């Protein structure tokens, strides 16, 4: 299975890096391939290193504006796109499931794009949020508040799977 991973290229928080590495390793050991932004920094690097440590490979999807950014060494494949919008489309299109890791505005953009597409029926792929240390706790509460106030349906919220452990992610992808 190809797992699209949305993650920060910025964070080097030790605890989060270790959790993300372990997630990548667990998914790599199951024979999954990682599809991600290709970057050799932050949580992108940690997750990809985990996939490789688990015996698997990865595909980097890189917009032209990031051609000079260091890419994870030894990527199985690098696909270049015109821009971020095309990168999201290619990553989502290649992936059988999507996992959102902690991240900033780019990761949130990818998360909401995937969730909206899943909600309106453009695909049926699982969309999982990996939140080992409560990074997305306030976002999760806010989304539930939106549902309570009638802005988001329970059905839309149920199209997301929130996971706090590697084991929960692996189980959700079975």
Residue 74's nearest CA partner among 89, 106, 52, 90 is: 52
What mean pLDDT do residues 71-80 have? 91
Q: How far apart are CA 54 and CA 27, in angstroms?
A: 7
Q: Which fold has domain 2-172?
A: Rossmann fold (3.40.50)
The model carries a pTM of 0.95
Does residue 12 carry a pLDDT above 90?
no
Instruction: Determine contact, residues 97/170, Cβ cutoff 8 Å.
Output: no
Residue 74 — pLDDT band, cuts 50, 70, 90? confident
Find tokens 């696909």 and name the residue: 79
Q: How far apart are CA 62 and CA 9, in angstroms?
A: 13
Q: How far apart are CA 62 and CA 79, in angstroms?
A: 6
pLDDT digits (tens, 9 = 90+) for 19-72: 999 999 999 999 999 999 999 999 999 999 999 999 999 999 999 999 888 889
Alpha-helical runs (H) found in 4-150: 14-29, 42-53, 84-94, 105-119, 137-148
The secondary structure element, H or E, covering residue 172 is: helix 166-172
Distance set, CA 3 to CA 51, 74, 127, 154 (Å): 11, 18, 10, 25
Does residue 13 carry a pLDDT above 90?
no
């Amino acid at each position: 299975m190809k797992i699209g991973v949305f993650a920060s290229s910025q964070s080097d928080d030790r605890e989060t890096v270790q959790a993300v590495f372990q997630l990548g390793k667990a998914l790599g050991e199951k024979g999954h391939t990682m599809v991600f932004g290709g970057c050799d920094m932050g949580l992108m690097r940690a997750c990809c290193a985990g996939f490789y440590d688990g015996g698997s490979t990865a595909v980097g999807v890189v917009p032209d504006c990031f051609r000079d950014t260091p890419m994870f060494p030894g990527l199985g494949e690098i696909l270049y796109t015109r821009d971020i919008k095309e990168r999201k489309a290619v990553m989502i299109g290649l992936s059988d499931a999507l996992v959102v890791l902690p991240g900033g505005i780019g990761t949130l953009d990818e998360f909401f794009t995937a969730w909206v597409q899943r909600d309106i029926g453009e695909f049926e792929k699982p969309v999982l949020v990996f939140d080992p240390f409560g990074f997305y706790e306030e976002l999760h509460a806010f989304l539930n508040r939106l549902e309570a106030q009638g802005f988001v349906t329970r059905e839309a919220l149920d199209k997301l799977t929130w996971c706090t452990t590697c084991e929960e992610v692996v189980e959700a992808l079975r």
